[in-house]
Amino acid sequence: MKSRTSVSSDGLSLDSRDFSLVLGGPLFQLLRRAHLSDDALMLARQRIIVISLLAWLPLLILSALEGQVLGGGATVPFLMDVEVHVRFLVALPLLIAAELVVHQRMRSVVKVFLGRNLIPESAMTRFDTAIASAFRLRNSVLAEVLLLTTVYVVGVLIIWRQYMALDAATWYATPSGQGTKLSLAGMWYGYVSLPIFQFLLLRWYYRLFIWARFLWQVSRIELSLVPTHPDRVGGLGFLSNIAYAFTLLAAAQGALVAGQLANRIFYLGAALPAFKIEIAVLVVFLLCVVLGPLLVFVPQLAHAKRKGLREYGTLAERYVREFDTKWLRGGAPADEPLVGSGDIQSLADLGNSYEVVRTMRVAPVTKEAILQLAVATLAPIAPLLLTMMPLEQLLKTLLGVLF
């Protein structure tokens, strides 16, 4: 099958067998022109340093000018605000680094679909259309404009100002009878730093939407699934492996929540167990967002399993009857020895094939993928356990559980 090459709206030469959720859009073009990225998303370290400092460093400088770095009468001075440092020095770099990981892990997904002959030749046009549609959404200028508008209208003015900001005197705002008064650092925080972070986070969820839509379109094609494939999902096992690419995104979301919880524990007197429902919802939400799209293949996989059990069951019935007649009912030639006969190995191979079909999963999701995403999400929150008990006691408890 010939490789098909086209040129995207970004001016990049694209092999239609390559697939990337991140190589496109106005921000990607801006980073290329600023020499903070190349066509393969290298220079990740430079992007992390420049963007993180753009969001965090002015806050430090303005807070220092206003005397709010360590004191100044604020309940939460700048250097003691755990959330802001975790958001811009941990979560933000993770969001940027995740782009390179996702690009490198996912770019071969189309080649694998084709290399495993999962796409029938008659459906190749529909497959190419799904790829082109994903590229158009990824490169959409309108989409990123709407994302930026959403960040300022909803993310900053509603969510942050009404629900996320601490109800206490901080380096960025002071509550008063007329409402909350932002400091100079608070203005940069609310109208520059936060929008940068929220835009990058929201753009990730837009990309996940593109990925889910692409998988749904592919699932509408009648795939050539093989029930006896060793991955036990008809040949779609590689999709579960691709889910590992979103581990950094899960860690970034976990770090963001950890910073928010830390501030409420340290300055509002909250306790970590009070947030167990929120933490559980976060883990379930991320598992659904990352692994949920893979469930679109359940109907085809379930059908392939039923069909495989029926067909291999019929084949096994024929073979074992012939084997029984030949070796147990005197049908074998007198000069043919049982020891060393290929019939025994063939019977074992047939049994193994049937067992693969019987244990075939109807979703390309593994326990390992679920566990890794859950651990990545919870890892940044785990240090907050120290707010419940001393480190020495925590270690003793963990060792008691393990040993």
Q: Is residue 363 assigned to a domain?
A: yes
User: Domain count of the chain?
Assistant: 2
Task: Clarify whether residues 254 and 287 are in a common domain.
Answer: yes
Tell me what the pLDDT averaged over the chain comes to. 85
The band of 166, judged by pLDDT with boundaries at 50, 70 and 90, is low
| Residue 32: pLDDT over 80 | yes
Q: Is residue 398 assigned to a domain?
A: no
Task: Clarify whether residues 216 and 232 are in a common domain.
Answer: no
Task: Clarify whether residues 207 and 257 are in a common domain.
Answer: no
**pTM for the model:** 0.85
Which pLDDT score, from 0 to 100, does residue 256 have?
94
Higher pLDDT, 19 or 2: 19
Q: Is residue 397 assigned to a domain?
A: no
Q: Is residue 163 assigned to a domain?
A: yes
Task: Clarify whether residues 258 and 292 are in a common domain.
Answer: yes
Which pLDDT score, from 0 to 100, does residue 181 have?
78
Q: For the residues 150-158, what does the mean pLDDT come to?
A: 78
Which pLDDT score, from 0 to 100, does residue 316 have?
85
Q: For the residues 207-211, what does the mean pLDDT come to?
A: 95
Q: Is residue 253 assigned to a domain?
A: yes
- Which of 159, 189, 224 terminates a domain? The answer is 224
The band of 9, judged by pLDDT with boundaries at 50, 70 and 90, is very low
Q: What are the pLDDT digits (tens) for 90-110?
A: 999 999 999 999 998 888 898
Task: Clarify whether residues 206 and 332 are in a common domain.
Answer: no
**Joined tokens for residue 41:** 């998303």
Q: What are the pLDDT digits (tens) for 40-50?
A: 777 889 999 99
Q: Is residue 394 assigned to a domain?
A: no
Task: Clarify whether residues 72 and 97 are in a common domain.
Answer: yes
Closest CA to 233 of 361, 64, 372: 361
| Residue 3: pLDDT over 50 | no
Task: Clarify whether residues 257 and 113 are in a common domain.
Answer: no
Task: Clarify whether residues 156 and 259 are in a common domain.
Answer: no
- Which of 224, 240, 259 terminates a domain? The answer is 224
Task: Clarify whether residues 135 and 165 are in a common domain.
Answer: yes
Q: For the residues 80-89, what does the mean pLDDT come to?
A: 92
Q: For the residues 179-196, what does the mean pLDDT come to?
A: 86
| Residue 228: pLDDT over 50 | yes
Which pLDDT score, from 0 to 100, does residue 8 have?
44
Which pLDDT score, from 0 to 100, does residue 331 have?
72
Task: Clarify whether residues 199 and 238 are in a common domain.
Answer: no
Distances (CA, A) of 344 to 144, 319, 322, 326, 352: 63, 11, 12, 12, 13
Higher pLDDT, 139 or 180: 139
Task: Clarify whether residues 193 and 59 are in a common domain.
Answer: yes
Q: Is residue 399 assigned to a domain?
A: no
Task: Clarify whether residues 241 and 210 are in a common domain.
Answer: no
Q: Is residue 365 assigned to a domain?
A: yes
Q: For the residues 381-389, what does the mean pLDDT come to?
A: 84
Which pLDDT score, from 0 to 100, does residue 10 have?
45
Which pLDDT score, from 0 to 100, does residue 397 have?
65
Domain extent at residue 75:
1-224
